[in-house]
Amino acid sequence: MRIIVTGASNWLDTEKIRNELIKLPIGATILHGENEGVDIITAKLAEELKLETEVWPADWDTHGPRADRLRNGAMVNSDVDLCIAFLMKDARHNWDCVRKARSARIETIIVEQDNHEEHQS
Mean pLDDT for the stretch of residues 59-78? 95
Positive/negative CA dihedral, 3, 4, 8, 9: positive
Could you list the beta-strand ranges (E) of 8-74: 29-32, 52-55
- For 120, the enclosing helix (H) or strand (E) is strand 118-120
Mean pLDDT, rounded, of the chain: 89
For residue 19, pLDDT over 80 is answered with yes
115: confidence class by pLDDT, cuts 50, 70, 90: very low
* CATH architecture of the domain with residue range 2-120: 3-Layer(aba) Sandwich (3.40)
CA 100, chain centre distance (Å):
12
Per-residue pLDDT reduced to its tens digit, 25-42: 989 999 999 889 999 999
Nearest CA among 21, 62, 60 for reference residue 39:
21
Per-residue pLDDT reduced to its tens digit, 81-107: 999 999 887 666 678 899 999 999 999
Q: What is the pLDDT of residue 25?
A: 94
Q: What is the pLDDT of residue 38?
A: 94
Q: What is the pLDDT of residue 89?
A: 73
Domain boundaries, the chain: 2-120
